[in-house]
């Protein structure tokens, strides 16, 4: 006999401290007009016909397990980025790989350093690992404070995550500051550069992550097919890492995690990247229109190199989100902090700018 509550089992205590992932809300229908979901940084374009065809063909073998080694996909990635296929690991989105990166580096008693506010999956994957997360506040321009992050590293640190461009605030990490930072990181601490929004980054001073990776044995680069490539629903991402880390990631991966459909769609999307890039550049132009429009209205929007903008609205955050939703554009509020608005359809940008103008007037 034990005195446990009947009907409950013992789960890991760490679960109690893990925040819930808040998925971007879908846009509810409204009579007489189109509504827009700009809450999840998704690509608003439908799949390319060439990719859709490959997916339809790939579905015909859904009774079979996929290639567990994702060999063809890893080779396509290797060729595209001029790395070795042994230096590539794949996963169920880069969030899946993040979880695996924690599993191979960190556990109870270890520390993981990352900026905050940043990607909301970080405290979840770190918490699940049992390691202690050290959140280093962003600076006054919503950028990573890499000096403070270097100061936060101790002999217990096993992993540092650098998100560039940073979700949800937008700025990218500069080459010079990243180099200075890496000089201060012990060579046995893994530094992961999360580049989910790489393709949208036009900052001439931004770090070239692959070049940084080549010259630092303790750096890995995390990327995804979810954003620029428009495959968010298929769950596939990749990590470019030196062989020790890439091999550990493949060992620890969920067997058969990346479906055959996802593998084939990713390969086809790499082949069709020129066509996808036209869309990415159109989104970048739309982002810049949104950024300028919001700044003209007086909103202090930080620089953004991603497919979203950040409105640091503080205690007006939830009011703004409600006003946007009423106008048929669903944004992603972070209560008490700010609102992240993804770049979507042109009409969604127009609608959001109108909401922002009305909100500024109302707020005086």
Ligand X SMILES: *Cc1c(COP(=O)(O)O)cnc(C)c1O
Least distance CB 33 / ligand X (angstroms): 28
Please give the C-alpha separations between residue 195 and each of 6, 296, 324, 333, in angstroms, as whole numbers.
46, 29, 28, 22
Alpha helices in the chain (DSSP H): 49-59, 71-81, 93-105, 121-129, 146-151, 175-184, 209-215, 243-252, 260-271, 273-296, 317-326, 346-363
Q: Is 226 in the site for ligand X (CB under 6 A)?
A: yes
Choose one: 48-56, 92-100, 270-278, 286-294; the region binding ligand X (CB under 6 A): 92-100
Q: Which of residues 245-274 bind ligand X (CB under 6 A)?
A: none
Return the number of the residue (66 or 257) whose C-beta is nearest ligand X.
257
Nearest to 201 by CA among 234, 223, 230: 223
Size of the residue set binding ligand X (CB under 6 A):
14
Q: Is 163 in the site for ligand X (CB under 6 A)?
A: yes
Q: Is 199 in the site for ligand X (CB under 6 A)?
A: no
Return the number of the residue (119 or 200) whose C-beta is nearest ligand X.
119
Helix (H, G, I), strand (E, B) or coil at 187: coil
Asked if residues 165 and 143 have their Cβ atoms less than 8 Å apart, the reply is: no
Q: Is 95 in the site for ligand X (CB under 6 A)?
A: yes
Q: What is the DSSP letter of 242?
A: -
Select the residue interacting with ligand X from 66, 93, 123, 230 (CB under 6 A).
93
Distance of CA 38 to the CA centre of its chain: 15
Select the residue interacting with ligand X from 100, 164, 167, 307 (CB under 6 A).
167
Residues in a beta bridge with 36 = 329
Choose one: 48-56, 68-76, 106-114, 221-229; the region binding ligand X (CB under 6 A): 221-229
Asked if residues 343 and 292 have their Cβ atoms less than 8 Å apart, the reply is: no
Least distance CB 63 / ligand X (angstroms): 26
Select the residue interacting with ligand X from 170, 237, 257, 344 (CB under 6 A).
237
Choose one: 87-95, 145-153, 286-294, 349-357; the region binding ligand X (CB under 6 A): 87-95
Residue identified by tokens 């097919």 is 225
Site string for ligand X, 96-125 (x = CB under 6 A): -----------------------x------
Instruction: Give backbone dihedrals phi and psi of 225, rounded to 5 degrees, phi first.
Output: -90, 5
Number of helical H runs and strand E runs in the chain: 12, 12
Q: Is 198 in the site for ligand X (CB under 6 A)?
A: no
Return the number of the residue (303 or 350) whose C-beta is nearest ligand X.
303
Choose one: 45-53, 66-74, 93-101, 290-298; the region binding ligand X (CB under 6 A): 93-101
Least distance CB 95 / ligand X (angstroms): 3
Q: Is 313 in the site for ligand X (CB under 6 A)?
A: no
Select the residue interacting with ligand X from 27, 36, 37, 41 (CB under 6 A).
41
Q: Which residue is nearest to ligand X (CB)?
A: 93
Choose one: 44-52, 219-227, 260-268, 355-363; the region binding ligand X (CB under 6 A): 219-227
Q: Is 44 in the site for ligand X (CB under 6 A)?
A: no
Please give the C-alpha separations between residue 14 and each of 21, 38, 134, 158, 280, in angstroms, as whole numbers.
16, 32, 16, 18, 40
Q: Is 232 in the site for ligand X (CB under 6 A)?
A: yes
Query: How many residues are given for the chain?
Result: 364
Q: Is 94 in the site for ligand X (CB under 6 A)?
A: yes
Q: Express the helix, strand and coil content of the chain in percent, nearest 5 each.
A: 45, 15, 40
For residue 117, cis peptide bond before it (omega within 30 degrees of 0): yes
Instruction: List, in order, residues 6 or more apart from 71 with CB less than 8 Å away.
Output: 85
Binding footprint of ligand X on the chain (CB under 6 A): 41, 93-95, 119, 163, 167, 194, 196, 224, 226-227, 232, 237
């Amino acid at each position: 006999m034990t005195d446990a509550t009947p009907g409950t089992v013992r789960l890991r205590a760490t679960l109690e401290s893990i925040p819930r992932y808040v998925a971007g809300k879908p846009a509810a229908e409204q009579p007489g007009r189109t509504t827009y979901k700009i809450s999840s940084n998704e690509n608003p374009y439908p799949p390319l016909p060439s990719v859709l065809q490959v997916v339809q063909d790939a579905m015909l073998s859904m009774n079979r397990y996929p290639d567990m080694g994702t060999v063809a996909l890893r080779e396509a990635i290797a060729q595209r980025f001029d790395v070795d296929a042994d230096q590539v690991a794949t996963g169920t989105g880069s969030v899946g790989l993040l979880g695996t990166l924690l599993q191979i580096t960190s556990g109870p008693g270890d520390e993981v350093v990352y900026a905050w506010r940043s990607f909301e999956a970080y405290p979840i994957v770190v918490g699940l690992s049992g390691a202690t997360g050290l959140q280093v506040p962003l600076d006054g321009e919503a950028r990573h404070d890499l000096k403070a992050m270097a100061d936060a590293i101790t002999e217990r640190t096993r992993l540092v995550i650098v998100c560039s461009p940073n979700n949800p605030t937008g700025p990218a990490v500069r080459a010079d500051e990243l180099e200075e930072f890496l000089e201060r990181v012990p060579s046995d601490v893994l530094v992961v550069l999360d580049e989910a929004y790489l393709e949208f980054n036009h900052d001439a001073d931004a770090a070239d992550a692959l070049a940084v990776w080549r010259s630092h044995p303790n750096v890995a680069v995390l990327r995804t097919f979810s954003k620029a490539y428009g495959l968010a629903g298929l769950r596939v991402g990749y990590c470019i890492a030196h062989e020790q880390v890439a091999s550990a990631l493949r060992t620890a991966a969920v067997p058969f995690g990346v479906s055959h459909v996802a593998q084939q769609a990713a390969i086809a999307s790499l082949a069709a990247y020129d066509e996808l890039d036209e869309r990415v550049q159109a989104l970048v132009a739309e982002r810049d229109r949104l950024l300028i429009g919001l700044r003209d209205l007086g909103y202090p929007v930080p620089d953004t190199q991603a497919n979203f903008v950040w409105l640091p609205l503080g205690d007006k955050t939830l009011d703004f989100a409600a006003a946007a939703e009423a106008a048929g554009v669903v944004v992603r509020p972070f209560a008490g902090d700010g609102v992240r608005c993804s770049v979507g359809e042109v009409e969604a940008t127009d609608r959001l700018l109108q909401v922002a103008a009305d909100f500024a007037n109302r707020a005086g």
